[in-house]
Structure 1
């Protein structure tokens, strides 16, 4: 039995999310359908993370197991000929027994993009959160520093988050501004449901002057979701990379 790792890119705009759901088209669903057509058997895939509806991926990872002996290039070229235009396989690798896209991951990196221009942008509306009010990026950077290290992120998870523990290790949290856009890059051992979007929603409140940068420390200590900022919209979020091999 072979274990194959696929690195997948997708525009999440028209998907209900990664995971198969009864209420619409999912990324997992279209990949499994393409695999069944190519391999002539039902082949489930497991994703490294369950991106929400509207969230994109530059390098989502999924794994599958099969007895078929098709060459690795078929998992790239063959699947891409069968997949819809908003999903593509970037790479395929043969992995050792026991590899699992989610359980074997050592961390993930996400990038959240904000368009901070005074007018709307037709070109950015599917990939950025458009915030027309000027944001204080310096204050946002100051607030972001409080997230680094190991903390309880209970104040930044969705109400229906199933995680048994809310402690996570934040390895990187950068806020960069360029040409009217803000890119927020976060890297952690793992993330809670909607955690990145809730972190960003809180940082935008800091940028608007609605809360002080130091208020982040109290949010982390109290763990009260109702005191943190709103959930940022999904279209600005991209899963950028999944780390394996000790990282």
Structure 2
């Protein structure tokens, strides 16, 4: 028995998130079904990040155990020949049997993308949130700096989340403008349910001039469930990658 690690990229538009659902098509189900057919044994992958319905990924991570003789580094090619075109394995390799994609020290990086223009862009509309009101990027940058460090993010977490702690550490949070595209790129030790989409919605309120940058500081210092910006649509969110702190690639 060996354990294989996959780096998985996908367009989440046509899927009901990562995690198995009773009646819906999910990324996890598609991987399980195709690996089971490919290897001739029942396969159940374990994913690092259970992305929501409509969220995209460039570097989600999954592992599975197999008796197959296919070398780990060739698993990506073999699996990609079967997968739909909106799910692509970027790399594969054998890892130690005790490697678990969720129970490790990690740095996760997400991006939330806005398209700021008078009218939407039909070419990239599946991957951004359209905002027609002009945004103050400098104020958004100022507000984003308040996220840095270790904070209680209870206000930026769905009330449905079942966690023991709302404290997370943010290592970087940058606002990058490229023409009409404005991207929030954030790296942290981990993220609560809907946290990145609520962070982006909060920065959007600042960019629109409805709130001042210091509002973010007030939210975090309250350490209570107070009003924040809106939870933005899933389509603007992409999991860029996951770095494992104590695991050599």
Fold similarity call, TM over 0.5: yes
Aligned residue for 2:177?
177
Aligned residue for 2:240?
240
Shifted more, 225-234 versus 36-45: the winner is 225-234
Aligned pairs for 1:129-168 within 5 A: 129-168=129-168
Per-residue CA shift, 1:97-133, capped at 9, x if unaligned? 2101111241200011110011111011100001111
Aligned pairs for 1:167-246 within 5 A: 167-246=167-246
Question: In 2, distance between residues paired with 1:118 and 1:226?
Answer: 32
Count of aligned pairs between the two proteins: 247
SS in 2 for 1:101: coil
SS in 1 for 2:211: coil
- Tell me how far 1:166 sits from its aligned partner: 0.4
- Tell me how far 1:75 sits from its aligned partner: 1.5
Task: Tell me if structure 2 keeps the 8 A contact 1:105–1:242.
Answer: no
- Tell me how far 1:37 sits from its aligned partner: 0.4
Question: In 2, distance between residues paired with 1:57 and 1:7?
Answer: 10
Question: In 2, distance between residues paired with 1:154 and 1:161?
Answer: 10
Question: In 2, distance between residues paired with 1:227 and 1:138?
Answer: 23
Task: Tell me if structure 1 keeps the 8 A contact 2:107–2:245.
Answer: no
Per-residue CA shift, 1:86-106, capped at 9, x if unaligned? 101110011112101111241
SS in 1 for 2:198: helix
Indicate how the Cα distance of structure 1 residues 225 and 121 shifts in structure 2: closer, same or farther if over 3 A, else same.
farther
TM-score normalised by length of structure 2:
0.96
- Tell me how far 1:23 sits from its aligned partner: 3.9
1:27 aligns with 2:27: yes
Shifted more, 93-102 versus 222-231: the winner is 222-231
- Tell me how far 1:224 sits from its aligned partner: 4.1
Q: Where has structure 1 moved over 3 Å in runs of 4 or more? A: 223-226
Aligned pairs for 1:66-81 within 5 A: 66-81=66-81
TM-score normalised by length of structure 1:
0.97
C-alpha RMSD of the superposition: 1.2
- Tell me how far 1:47 sits from its aligned partner: 0.8
Task: Tell me if structure 1 keeps the 8 A contact 2:153–2:167.
Answer: yes
Aligned pairs for 1:48-127 within 5 A: 48-127=48-127
Question: In 1, distance between residues paired with 2:87 and 2:145?
Answer: 35
The runs of 5 or more residues in structure 1 that have no matched partner are none
